[in-house]
Amino acid sequence: MTDYYIPEAPDTRAWVIHPEIKNDQDRREPEAALAEAVALADALPGLEVLGSEIVRLPKRHPGMLFGTGKIEELKQRLKQNEIELVLIDGHVGPVQQRNLEKEWKVKILDRTGLILEIFGDRAATREGVLQVEMAALSYQRTRLVRAWTHLERQRGGLGFVGGPGETQIEADRRAIDEQLVRLKRQLDKVVKTRALHRASRAKVPFPIVALVGYTNAGKSTLFNRLTGAEVMAKDMLFATLDPTMRRVVLPTGDEVILSDTVGFISDLPTELVAAFRATLEEVLDADLVLHVRDIGHAQTAEQAREVETILSSLGLPEDTPKIEVWNKIDALEPDRHEAALERAGRTENVSAVSAITGEGMDALLDEVSRALGGAKHVEEMVVPFSDGRKRAWLFEQGLVEEDTPTEDGHRMTVRWSAAQKARFERL
């Protein structure tokens, strides 16, 4: 039998543009923003980034985003480099996208479109695939512009009702809406299954510790170091999307469930925040959140603020204990390395670690034990006879100081932490 060689399709030649718009409220450091946009492009297989640049604009031009002079200048540069795809790091409206594609004769993707492409390539679980599909369809729905008026269709019937029928754009929008409804039904089933799993975990007396952080901060590498798992961990934006959970034994002998989640990013598309809310509910249920930071990154403070903003928008309770994990200290210069260790040692709820070398792991686990133990207080309550499981859980945890049967149930005096109380209330 003859083996035929099938050549691989050549990579798409891409160019990355970061529009730096004067007086833009959400302005990021342009050089860092461009570097992140290039890293996003590199994270998508099949792309060859041939060039990138910052384009400074006094304002957004409604029809084309850029001014006529800049459009002509970029057109020549794209033509010389035989560019097929232009990635614009920011929002590009549907009309702007269509006009630029016509003018430059290339495909245009804005930041949202690029992130959706990456998520679509990486989603592995059924839930992840459904969430990405829904987000992509919601995005595409806004991209439908009146480009095919010649495809207007007449209504059926005998012609008693005059006038044009639905246009192609209306039919496309209706088809997307119908598909969204179907996907929503499928996703609801998956979410119910996840809720059942979460409920069954609540019966197990193990606290949940969730890893969150900016994408590429090293969450999955840290997860693997702490659990001995083999979750995909690469120096790449959005290397992992689907949440993973493993059991970890702390130095005290206590056990916790560690959860790895999708990385956050600035200007995360609203479609994706909504779509991944079910996945990120693992974070909302956590007894402790470990905020992993790439402490050597030039924009580490800005990335940390972005993560805190997204956690707040998701509805993370303000009283949820948090530990900042300053990761990648092995990549720091010796003097910065020592300074980070010293500063972390003086700062409450901060641990400096290297997920690669293992430095600082014991101290981090000690910090986790301390945070989950927390300040304990005594509380008295009545547990109804029908809540035998809750009463048994209190005894399993060794929280009961006094237990007296009454007509209404068991009057119990317990000594517990805020995290233990929150876990009891979820049972």
Q: Which residues are annotated as a binding site for GTP?
A: 213-220, 238-242, 260-263, 327-330
> Of 22, 72, 21, 74, which Cα lies nearest the Cα of 52?
74
User: In Å, what is the CA distance from 229 to each residue of 166, 236, 258, 259, 332?
Assistant: 54, 19, 11, 12, 26
410-416 and 244-249 strand pairing: unpaired
> Of 259, 281, 270, 122, which Cα lies nearest the Cα of 191?
281
- What is the rounded CA–CA span in Å between residue 305 and residue 300? 9
Full DSSP string of 260-289: E-PPB-TT--HHHHHHTHHHHHHHHT-SEE
Range list of β-strands (E), 240-376: 244-249, 255-260, 288-294, 322-327, 350-352
CB 353 within 8 Å of CB 222: yes
Give the contacts of 216 (CB within 8 A, at least 6 positions apart): 39, 235, 236, 237, 239, 263, 294
- What is the rounded CA–CA span in Å between residue 336 and residue 356? 18
Please report, in range form, the residues annotated as the binding site. Answer: 213-220, 238-242, 260-263, 327-330
User: In Å, what is the CA distance from 38 to each residue of 50, 66, 77, 217, 271?
Assistant: 10, 20, 18, 17, 22
Please report, in range form, the residues annotated as the binding site for Mg(2+). Answer: 220, 240
Neighbour-count burial for 55-93, b at 16+ CB within 10 Å, e otherwise: beeeebeeebbbeeebbeebeeebeeeebbbbbbbbebb
